[in-house]
């Protein structure tokens, strides 16, 4: 499954990755890693204002439907 990830930097520049397969923050909270099938982008957290992504990445597979 691919999804989009948007990174806004402290200088208000933006990076939009439209085909991300994974994004993670390192254990030491120092870098954000955004992976695609072709590349890995590593960004120091000190340069990031905020990160947003497609909410479907948080869907639970096989979860029951909410009651109607």
pLDDT, residue 13, reads: 97
pLDDT, residue 15, reads: 97
In angstroms, the Cα distances linking 60 to 8, 40, 56, 57, 63 are 27, 25, 9, 9, 6
pLDDT tens digits, one per residue of 20-35:
999 999 999 999 999 9
DSSP, collapsed to helix, strand or coil, labels residue 31 as strand
0.85 exceeded by pTM: no
Q: How many CA atoms lie within 13 Å of 11's alpha carbon, on the beta-carbon side?
A: 3
**Domain extent listing, the chain:** 3-53
Q: Label the pairing between strands 22-25 and 3-9.
A: unpaired
Topology of domain 3-53 in CATH is SH3 type barrels. (2.30.30)
pLDDT tens digits, one per residue of 31-54:
999 999 999 999 999 999 999 998
Average pLDDT (13-25) is 95
């Amino acid at each position: 499954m691919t999804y989009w990830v948007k990174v806004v930097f402290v200088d208000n520049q933006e990076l939009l990755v439209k085909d991300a397969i994974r994004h993670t923050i390192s254990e030491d909270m120092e870098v954000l890693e955004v992976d695609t099938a072709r590349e890995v982008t590593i960004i120091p957290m000190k340069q990031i204002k905020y990160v947003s992504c497609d909410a479907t990445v948080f869907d639970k597979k096989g979860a029951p439907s909410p009651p109607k």
